[in-house]
Each structure stands twice: as structure tokens, then as C-alpha cells.
Amino acid sequence: MKSVKAFVEIGQDGTFGVYMDENDLSYSVVGDGKSAQEAVNDFLKAYSEMKDYYASHGEVFEEVNFEFEYDIKSFLLYYKPYLTRAGLERLTGINQRQLGHYLTGIRKPSHKTACRIVSGVSNFGNQLSYSKANI
């Protein structure tokens, strides 16, 4: 099954949107919501509805897997309930105040800084997945 990128972004009004990367599919879907998770859920619902629409019209529907990519502000807001700014500082080496600026939209991180944030959290996730508790 083909993989397609779906981008999750926060708008200036504070709502979230999800849209598909440009591709050669005969359809496209979008989603929106008050949170990143709500937007992703809406996006997946739209995908399911598109699949049903194609089936009801006897048309071939190419199913795909989605790889969700978040802009940095959406990424930080999505993981905010799980990772404190202090924890993110330890994972990324970026001070809490600067992370706060990214969360509020006062500043936008450079590409290099955005990569540091994603890499730090990703490395943490990898460490967790390879760790085993002695139970």
C-alpha cells in the first residue's frame, strides 16, 4: 500500500488543519478541528467517507497509509500534555523560554532548530521503545 504524507498545521485563528501532500491520487481529503487530534480524526473520517463514496459509485478507490507530519507549533501543542517545557529542554537543549515562544507563535524556529526538536523527541521515543522494565 502506498504511503502519502498528511500535514498537520495550526492556523492563525488557533484551529488545526490536515491536508494531503500533492500526489497522483484521484482524490484528496482535508480535516480540521480545535486540536491536532480532532483535526486528524476529522481527516480520517473524510478519508473513510471518500472511500464509501467511491464504493457507492462503483469506482476504484486506491487505499493509502498516511504519514502525519506536524509543523513545530502543532507538534509541541500535541505533545504538551505529555512533555513539559523542562523535559523538552532536557531532550532538545533548547531553553524553556524559547520553546514557549514557539508554542505561542511569537517566534518560529529555524529549520535547524525544528529538526533539533523533532530529533530530540524522536530519540527519546526510541529510547523508550528499546527500554525494558524489570518487572
- What confidence tens digit (pLDDT) does each residue in 75-109 have? 888 888 888 999 999 999 999 999 999 888 888 89
What are the chain's domains?
2-70 (3.30.160), 72-130 (1.10.260)
Closest among 119, 86, 85, 81 to 102, alpha carbons compared: 85
Query: What band does 135 get if pLDDT is binned at 50, 70 and 90?
Result: low
Burial of 72 (0-12, 13-18, 19+ CB in 10 A): buried
pTM of the model: 0.74
Q: What is the pLDDT averaged over residues 109-122? A: 89
pLDDT digits (tens, 9 = 90+) for 40-81: 999 999 999 999 999 999 999 999 999 998 888 888 888 888
What's the first-to-final CA gap in the chain, in angstroms? 38
Indicate the helix (H) or strand (E) that contains 75: helix 72-79
CA 16 to chain centre: 10
**pLDDT at residue 112 greater than cutoff 80:** yes
